[in-house]
Amino acid sequence: MVRFFGIIVGLGFVSALIFSIIGSLPFEAAERTAVEDFHQKPRTLALASDGAFGKFDRKQLQRGLQVYNEVCSACHSLRLVSFRDIAALGYNEGQVKSFAAAHEVPSIDPDTGEPATRPGLPKDAFPSPYPNETAARAANNNALPPDLSLITKAREGGAPYVYSLLTGFRNPETYRNEKGEALPADSKPGTGLHFNPWFANLNLAMAPPLTSEGQVTYGPGNPKPTVDQMAKDVSAFLVWTAEPKLENRRAVGWGALGFLLIFTVLTYLSYRQIWADKKH
């Protein structure tokens, strides 16, 4: 019986060895698809909030809020962010109230019980542009515009992906990949779709949202509102919506590391003091 189990175990090891050898053999690669040949990795995007010591650029976040409010909010919701949250961007109480009141939020008529709208209050979340998912799909070629509250956390690539997508729309007829190859006919966008090599399957229902310089008017003292600058600003803003307490979290983390470092030094000095006159 022992010999039998020994043979079984030996066969298992041999099988594993054979499979590992076969797996390492250089088989001919499968034919690459157009998505693999034309899909691009996110472009580099440097933000003030990057890195272990990064801090939000409030001016940039305010510009990003403006881009979202004037462009992106036409299709995308921001349901996890309340109007009062923008006080963290440098707005005072009066400005927050004015910003909220400029938006209409869903309500109920107290006299008739019918759906209605009212001016927003600081406690309200940013309203959705559509009453429900069916209406959202009907207005977007059956595609559902995602909520942007956590988009830089939900999408691989984070803010650089968002920035690349916003600036990545190309003409499928003239676009060439790094090898100089043209896009195959069966990969070109169909009706209602738009070619963007930074999107997962190359074609998406969203039309280019940022189309020209000055589409959003920035106030004095701000950079020129080029498409590239507006894309950077709204990407930075969406980093904040996804993690508004980023600076506090980092401050607590560095404080904890400092405490542990000091505690370690004091513990070592105590050890040396206690055992200094002890013979080994």
**Per-residue tens of pLDDT for the chain, all 280 residues:** 556 555 665 666 656 656 666 555 454 445 567 788 889 999 999 999 999 999 999 999 999 999 999 999 999 999 999 999 999 999 999 999 999 999 999 888 887 878 888 999 999 999 999 999 999 999 998 999 999 999 999 999 999 999 999 999 999 999 998 889 999 988 889 888 999 999 999 999 999 999 999 999 999 999 999 999 999 999 999 999 999 999 999 999 999 999 999 999 999 888 888 876 766 5
Same domain as 260, residue 233: no
Q: Return the sign of the alpha-carbon dihedral for residues 88, 94, 96, 99.
A: negative
The answer to whether residues 40 and 164 touch, using CB atoms and an 8 Å cutoff, is yes
- Which amino acid belongs to residue 69? N
pLDDT at 148: 97
Task: Indicate the number of domains in the chain.
Answer: 2
Same domain as 250, residue 144: no
C-alpha 273: how far from chain center? 52
pLDDT at 27: 43
230 marked as part of a ligand binding site = no
| Residue 29, domain member (yes or no) | no
Chain position carrying tokens 């506090």: 248
| Residue 217, domain member (yes or no) | yes
Same domain as 205, residue 154: yes
Same domain as 67, residue 175: yes
Strands (E), 186-227: 194-195, 203-204
Beta bridge partners of 88: none
Same domain as 198, residue 155: yes
Task: Map residue 20 onto helix, strand or coil.
Answer: helix
pLDDT at 274: 82
194 marked as part of a ligand binding site = no
Same domain as 185, residue 139: yes
Q: What is the pTM of this model?
A: 0.84
| Residue 141, domain member (yes or no) | yes
Q: How far apart are the first and last CA of the chain?
A: 55
pLDDT at 114: 83
Domain ranges, residue 252:
246-274
| Residue 176, domain member (yes or no) | yes
110, exposed or middle or buried, with CB in 10 Å at 0-12, 13-18, 19+?
Answer: exposed
CA torsion angle for 240, 244, 246, 247 (degrees, to 10)?
100
| Residue 153, domain member (yes or no) | yes
Same domain as 265, residue 232: no
| Residue 40, domain member (yes or no) | yes
Same domain as 170, residue 70: yes
| Residue 222, domain member (yes or no) | yes
Same domain as 268, residue 131: no
72 marked as part of a ligand binding site = yes
Same domain as 43, residue 155: yes
pLDDT at 25: 47
